[in-house]
A = this chain, B = another copy of it.
């Protein structure tokens, strides 16, 4: 592969290896004629630095990893927002995935893997506070996601509860009284969906209405297919409902399918709102009302914290909750 070594360039240019290194890294000044000879040799031989050797010696990779549960949908979109921010600093971004399993997440955080990167952004889904606490590394890390995390980690998360409250309150305001919390759960092991359930509950309480636990409908996975199946069951069960708060837009899309096949009209018979405001939300008729998770803001905040850590900041970690806002579209009655 990198058949040409720095030593070959040095020989070709009639200088020492260090001079070549100095020319390429602009560390120590090199006289112009020498410099030109070195550059010519580099060109002639097609030399490219061995990044692995540099890494071993210099301890730097100029690479940041974004470790996600899976590559598609939400995380792919966020990754596309993060990439330019990292590249603007002259670093590379690579994605790794964990399959959302705690073992894989721990493996990704193993000292061994971390060595490859100057910094790591980790979307935590499976690990709990204790497991995270066991991660001992001085590597710059910023955690993303809804789990509870140890104080010493920088952490960026969404205002889940507030977002769910906003969406639910909006549907209550426009006449719904029996709103399913699709994909929500009472299981506090999954913070995202239980936080959003709490927001859904609060909207009811705030409106002076009762909360009915039967309206919390979990899904087996956060996919459209599982959501569609879960909602089909509800429809078949005769539990009456006139609104659906879906825990994510992907789940909401499953709901759209189940509602359509049962002849339930959106938003006339059933109002529907999702969470994340992924691209798709504006295009699925009649437009999906969704809580904008502010990907861009999350990306900027997280990268900012990571940058600070990589620059050597040693102050206390920050725990940022980025604000959300409701984007109203045709799937609720306030929409166009």
Q: Within A87-106, which residues are at the interface with B (CB < 8 Å)?
A: 92-97, 99
Most buried by B among A50, A97, A282: A97
Stretch from A10-18, A69-77, A164-172, A183-191 at the B interface: A69-77
Give residues 237-292 of A contacting B (CB, 8 Å).
253-254, 256-257, 260-261, 279-280, 282-287
Residue A48, interface by CB 8 Å: yes
A2–B75 Cα distance when bound, in Å, is 29
> For residue A47, which residue of chain B has the nearest CB?
B111
A98 CB, nearest partner CB in chain B, Å: 10
A1 within 8 A of B: yes
Interface size on A, residues (CB 8 A): 58
Question: Measured between alpha carbons, how far is A97 from B65 in the docked complex, in Å?
Answer: 12
A112 touches B257 (CB 8 A): no
Chain B proximity mask over A123-145: 1 for CB below 8 Å, otherwise 0: 00000000000001111000000
Answer whether residue A51 sits at the interface, using C-beta atoms and an 8 A cutoff.
yes
Among B53, B223, B257, point to the contact of A56 (Cβ < 8 A).
B53
- A31-68 CB contact bits vs B (8 Å, 1 = yes)? 00000000000000010111111011000000001000
Q: Which residues of B contact A283 (CB under 8 A)?
A: 224, 228, 253-254, 256-257
Q: A1-B137, A52-B52 are in contact. List 17 more A-B contacts (CB 8 A).
A: A48-B112, A51-B116, A52-B115, A71-B71, A72-B77, A72-B80, A76-B76, A80-B97, A92-B113, A94-B95, A94-B96, A95-B95, A223-B279, A224-B280, A224-B283, A225-B282, A257-B285
17 A-B pairs with C-beta separation under 8 A? A1-B111, A1-B115, A2-B112, A50-B112, A51-B112, A51-B116, A56-B56, A79-B97, A80-B97, A83-B99, A94-B96, A95-B96, A116-B116, A224-B279, A253-B280, A254-B283, A257-B284
